[in-house]
Chains A and B, each alone.
Chain A
Amino acid sequence: MSRPSDLVQGTLDMLLLKFLALEPMNGFAVSQRLKQVSGDVLQVSDGSLYPALHKLEQEGWITAEWKTSEYGRRAKYYSLTRLGRRQLEKEADNWGRLSSAISRVIKLKEA
C-alpha cells in the first residue's frame, strides 16, 4: 500500500491540481485518472485521495460543486480556481527546477 508520503512531498497536490486543470471531475474520476496516467507507478490509495482533495478545497485552490453525472448520479465535481491555477504554475515551476537539479546530480560521472 502506497501512501502519499512515498511521493515527493507535495507532489500529490500538484498532480491533483494538474488533473483538475484539464477538466472538472469527481473524486472517483480523479482516482481512475491517477492510475491510468501514471501506469500504477504512483499508487495513491483512495483513503489518501479524499483528504487531499478536501485540503485543496480548504486552501481555496479547487472548488466543489454537486452535479448530476453521466450515469444520472449526483456527484461532487471539483474544478480549479484562479488561485489554484496560480498555485499549479508555481508548483510545476518548482518541480521542474527540482527534477532537473536532481537529474543533473544523478548523471554526474565518477571522476
Chain B
Amino acid sequence: MRPEHWLYTIPLRLRSLFRWAQADQELDEELRDHLERKTEEYVAKGMTQEEARRRARLDMDGIEQSKEKCRDARRVNWIQDFIQDLRFGLRMLRKSPGFTCVAVLTLALGIGADTAIFSVTNAVLLRPLPFPDSKELVRLWDNYGNKGNHAVVSYPNFVDWRNWSHSFSGLAAFTSADHVLTGQGEPIHLEGITASASLFEVLGIQPILGRAFLLEEDQPHADNGADAIILSYKAWNDVFQADPKVIGRGITLSGKPFVVVGVAPRGVEAQMGYSRAQFWTTAAPVAEVSPQSTKPLSEERQVSFLSVLGRLRPSVTLAQAQADMDHVAAELVNAYPKDDPKEGVGIQCLQDSMTGDVRPLLFVLLAAVGIVLLIACANVAALILTRATSRRRELAIRVALGAGRRRIAVQMLAESLLLAGIGGALGLWLSVIVRQTLVRVLGVNWLTQLPLDVRVFGFAVLVTVGSAVIFGLAPAFRAAKTDLVYGLKEGAQATGESRSLNRARKAFVIGQVALAATLLSSAGLLVRSLMNLESTDPGFNSSHVLTFPVSLPVQRYPQASWSSFFRELLARLRAVPGVESVSAGGILPFEGGASHTVLDNVAGRPIPQSEWRGIVFVPVTPGYFRTLRVPIKAGREFTDHDITNSEPVVIINEAAARQYFGKQIPVGQQIEPVMWDGSGSKTQMRTIVGVAGDVKTYSLVQPSEPTVYWPITQIPSDSTMYVAVRTIGNPLGILGAVRQQLHAMDKDLPFYDVSPLDYQIDKTLTQPRYNTLLMASFALLALILTTIGLYGSIAYLVAQRTHEIGVRMALGARRADVLRDVISDGMAIGGAGVALGLPAAVAATRLIRSLLYGVSSGDPMTFGLVVLVLIGVACAASYIPARRAMRVDPIVALRYE
C-alpha cells in the first residue's frame, strides 16, 4: 500500500482502536440526524408525525443492524482479533495453571540464562571501553622471546618509538610501582602505577578533581622536590574520605615526598589491568638504577619493563600502524645492533587485548545457553501438543462454528506468544539478578558498567519471540489442520492425525537428545580438563609453605647489603619454633614476575645473537629447592659455601638442560648467562652444579620455561625477594612470629601479600573451576529438561496405546513383552538422538579446544560416557511408563472404548 493511503487510514484505525466509544457516539448522532430529516421530509409530504417516524425507521432496515454494519466497516480486524486472541489465551492459561507454570518457568530459565550471558557478552565484547574514541587505543610491545606474550619495552626503546613513529597521536608507557606508606604505625604496602605524563591524555580522560600530569613532570626533579601523584577514585574515598580539598596535600611514600595533583575517575586502574592500584606517579621509574647494572633505567635498552599504550591518529588503521612500527623496529636494530636482537613490534587493539582471554569462553557459553533454550522450547512444544490433543474438541467446535483455519492457527500462536512473553519477562528479571554474579564468575572485574541497554533488551525480546515461534509453530500448524469429523467424534483415537502428531513429538525428543549430547560432551571435556589441571604436578610441594615478599628500598639498602640482609632474616626465621626450613628467591612459583636473560656461551660454544632465546633467571638463597621440595635430578643444591669468592655456579632446570644439552647430563659444564650492564663485565662463565626438576611458574597449564638459578651471594640481582617458610604445622600459625622477626630487622618494611603457597596455586584454578561449573550446570539443566521431555513423550505414547496394549494382552502377550516393547521404544528415540547428536558434538567440541587441558577434543572416553548417560536416561525415562503399560488391565482397557 502507498504511504499516502496510510496517511488517511492510520489515524482512523487508531481512533477506532482507542476511541471507539467516541466513534460509536458519533455514529449514533449521524444516524439520528438522518432519521430526523427523513421524518421531517415525510411530514412535509403530509404524513402524521408518528407515521413519518415509522417510515424513516423502516427505510433504515433496523437501526441496530445498520449500526453494527457500520462498526464492521470500521473494525481494525487483525489487531482487535489479536487482542481478543490474547485475552482468550490468558483465560486458557489461567484455566490450566499447572501447564502454565511448568511452561513459563522452563522458558524463564532458558531466556533468563540466555539474556544474562548476552548482557555480559554485550558489555565485554560489543560495547566500547569507557574511553573517548576507544577504538583508537592500542597496546604495543616488543616481540621478544615468546611471541604473542604481552612482553614489555625498555625506556629508551619507548622514547624512540615515540619519536620515530608517525601513526600515533600519543604514546604512553606505564608499569607497576609499589610504595610503602610509613610514619603511621605499621608500614603499609601500596600498589600503584607509574606512567609517562602523557597517559591520561592518551586515554582521553580527565581527572574528576585537579589535573592530569604536566608533560614537564616526565623529567625527574633535580632538587628532590615533591613529585606529582594522582589518586585512584578508590584511594581518594578510602584513605582521604573523598575530601574535595585533597588537591595540594603532601604525602610521603617510601620516604619520598609527593603532592596530590588529581583524582582519577572510577575504575581506570582496573581498565589498565591493575585493579589494585591506588595511585599514579610519573617520572620515577626512569631515574632508578637497574639492579643488574650501573646505568639508570632511562638509558638501559636491555631492561624491558614498560607496558605501552598508544592512540592511533584518526585515519590510521591497525595495519598501517603495524607497518609503521615494523619500520621503526628495523631502524632500531640498525641503530643499536648490539642491544636490539628484537623480533619486531606487536600491536593490538586495547579492547581485544583486554577481552582476548574471555572472548572464546563467552561465545561457548552463549552457544551453550542457546542449546539449553532450544531444549526448553522443545519441551514446551511437546506440552502444547499434548494440550492440543485434549483441546481437539474445542477447536473442532470453533471450526464448525465458522472460525477460519488461519484464525485458529493465529490464536494458537497468540497463546504461545503469551507464554513466551510471560516467560521472557520473568527471564529478563532473572538475568538482571544473576548478571553481577556472572561478571565475578567470569573474571571480568574490570567492567565498571553492565548496562541494560537497547541491545540487551532487544536480545531478550528477540529470544522471546524466537522461542514462541519455535515452540508455537508446530502446534499452530497442527491446530490449523483440525479435522471436524474426528474432532467431534467422541473418543476418536489413534487415527492418522495423531500418528503424525506422534511423529512430531518424537522428532522433538530426538532433537533434544541430540542437543543434550553436544552440551554434555563439551561439559564432560571441560570437567576432564579441570581434573587434569587439579592433578597436575606443579613440580614442588606447596603445602605448609608461607610466602611473602620483602622489598628493600634502594635508598637505604645499597646492592652490596642485600645478600647479608636476607641471610640474617632467614637465620632469624629459621629459629622460629615450628619452622622446618626457610629460603628466598627472586621469584617463587606462582608469585612474582619472572625476569629473562639469555645465554651467551654454552659449554665453550658462543651463541650468536640470532639464536638467543629467553631463559628465566632466579637468584636464590641456599635451601631454595629443599624448602620448596623441588627435586634435584642431578648434581647438588646451592650451599652456604657458594659465596662471592668461590667458583661461580648455577643450577638449571630440566627444560634448560634439554634445550641446551639434549640428553647429556650437563653437571660440570659451563654456561655464560648475560648480565645486562652494558659493559658486559659481569658476564662470566659459570659452572652447572645441579639440574633441578621443572617447576610450573605462572599457571599449571603452561609448560615450564627453561630456567637458570644462581646464588644471591654471587649475583645480588634484585632488591625484592620472596621468602618461603616451610612449617611443621599450619603455615598461618607462625604469621605473628614472622612479622616480629621482619620488624625486628627493620620496622619500616611492610609485611604484605602474605599467603600460604597453595592458596596461590588455588587462585589460578578459580577461573577454570568457575568455567567448568557454568558449563556443567548448563549441561545438567539440558539433561534434566531432556529427561523430562523423554519421559513426557513416552508416557504420552503409552497412554495413547492403552487400548492396543489391552488387546495384545487379551490375546496373550506377556507383561515382560509389553515392558520390553515400551522400553525399546524409548531406547530407539534415545539412540536416534545420540546418533544424530554425536557428529554435532564432535564438531562442537572442536570449538572449545582452546579451553581444554590434557584431553583431546575428540576424547573417546568422554564421548562414550555421554552415550552411556543418554541411553541410560532414555532407559530410565521409559521405565516408569513401561511399568504402567505392564499393569494395564485388558478388561478395563477394552471396556473403555
Contact = CB atoms under 8 A, between A and B. Distances in A.
A1 interface: yes
Contact of A60 (B12, B30, B34): B12
Nearest to A31: B34
Given A27-B30, A28-B33, A46-B66, A57 B60 contact: no
A9 B481 CA distance: 33
A66 B33 CA distance: 12
Interface string B49-68: 00000000001111001100
B61 A1 contact: yes
Interface stretch (A15-23, A47-55, A90-98, A100-108): A47-55
A74 interface: yes
In the complex, which of the residues B27, B29, B73 has the most CB atoms of chain A within 10 Å of its own CB atom?
B73
A45 B61 contact: yes
Nearest to A66: B26
A111 B839 CA distance: 79
In the complex, which of the residues B8, B66, B69, B74 has the most CB atoms of chain A within 10 Å of its own CB atom?
B8
A11 interface: no
Interface in A1-56: 1, 26-28, 31, 45-48, 50-52, 54-55
Interface string B4-32: 11011100110000000000001101110
Contacts of A48: 61
B744 to A, nearest CB: 96
Contacts of A51: 66, 69-70, 72-73
B66 A47 contact: yes
Nearest to B62: A47
A70 to B, nearest CB: 11
A58 B60 contact: no
Given A57-B12, A60-B12, A63-B8, A47 B30 contact: no
A26 B33 contact: yes
Contacts of B5: 60, 83
A28 B62 contact: no
Contact of A82 (B4, B9, B26, B37): B4
Q: Is the interface of A mostly helix, strand, loop or mixed?
A: helix
Contacts of B739: none
Contacts of B26: 66, 76
Contacts, number: 74
Given A47-B62, A81-B8, A58 B37 contact: no
Contacts of B33: 26-28, 73-76
Interface string B159-185: 000000000000000000000000000
A89 interface: no
Q: Is the interface of B mostly helix, strand, loop or mixed?
A: helix
Nearest to A57: B12
B9 A59 contact: yes
In the complex, which of the residues A50, A59, A73, A82 has the most CB atoms of chain B within 10 Å of its own CB atom?
A50
Interface residues of A, number: 27
A50 B30 contact: yes
Contacts of B65: 47
A3 to B, nearest CB: 9
B150 interface: no
B12 A27 contact: no
B9 A54 contact: no
Contacts of B73: 51-52, 54-55, 57-58
A58 B61 CA distance: 22
Nearest to A86: B4
Nearest to B67: A50
Contact of B59 (A27, A45, A55): A45
A83 B33 CA distance: 28
A66 to B, nearest CB: 8
B189 interface: no
Given A28-B33, A60-B5, A63-B8, A47 B59 contact: yes
A47 B61 contact: yes
Interface residues of B, number: 28
B4 A28 contact: no
A57 B435 CA distance: 52
Nearest to A52: B73
Nearest to A61: B8
A32 to B, nearest CB: 8
B572 interface: no
Interface in A64-81: 66, 73-76, 81
B38 interface: yes
In the complex, which of the residues A26, A51, A76 has the most CB atoms of chain B within 10 Å of its own CB atom?
A51
A28 B38 contact: yes
Contacts of B27: 54
Contacts of B72: 51
A58 B74 contact: yes
B61 A54 contact: no
A48 to B, nearest CB: 7
A28 B61 contact: no
Contacts of A31: 34
A46 B69 CA distance: 12
A76 B26 CA distance: 9
A48 B62 CA distance: 11
Contacts of B60: 45-47
B9 A28 contact: no
A57 B65 CA distance: 19
B63 to A, nearest CB: 8
A83 B31 contact: no
Contacts of B70: 50-51, 54
Contacts of A52: 73
Contacts of B7: 60
A45 B74 CA distance: 20
Contacts of A46: 34, 38, 59-61, 66
A22 B29 CA distance: 25
Contact of A83 (B8, B12, B74): B8
Given A46-B59, A46-B66, A47-B61, A28 B8 contact: no
Nearest to A3: B61
A28 to B, nearest CB: 5
Given A46-B66, A50-B66, A60-B9, A28 B59 contact: no
Contacts of A73: 33, 36
A52 B607 CA distance: 101
A26 B26 CA distance: 13
Contacts of B66: 46-47, 50-51
B722 to A, nearest CB: 83
Contacts of A58: 9, 12-13, 73-74
Contacts of A47: 59-62, 65-66, 69
A19 B7 CA distance: 23
Contact of B34 (A28, A55, A81): A28
A31 B230 CA distance: 87
A74 B28 CA distance: 13
Contacts of A57: 12, 73
A50 B60 CA distance: 9
A29 to B, nearest CB: 9
A15 to B, nearest CB: 17
Contact of A27 (B4, B8, B13, B34): B34
Interface in B340-363: none
Contacts of B61: 1, 45-48
A80 to B, nearest CB: 12
Nearest to B30: A76
Nearest to B7: A60
Interface in B69-92: 69-70, 72-74
7 contacts: A46-B66, A47-B60, A47-B61, A50-B31, A50-B69, A60-B9, A76-B29
Given A47-B61, A76-B30, 9 more contacts: A27-B33, A28-B33, A46-B66, A54-B70, A59-B9, A73-B36, A76-B33, A83-B4, A83-B5
Interface of A: 1, 26-28, 31, 45-48, 50-52, 54-55, 57-60, 63, 66, 73-76, 81-83
Interface of B: 4-5, 7-9, 12-13, 26-27, 29-31, 33-34, 36-38, 59-62, 65-66, 69-70, 72-74
Top 5 nearest A-B pairs by Cβ distance? A47-B61, A60-B8, A51-B69, A55-B73, A54-B73
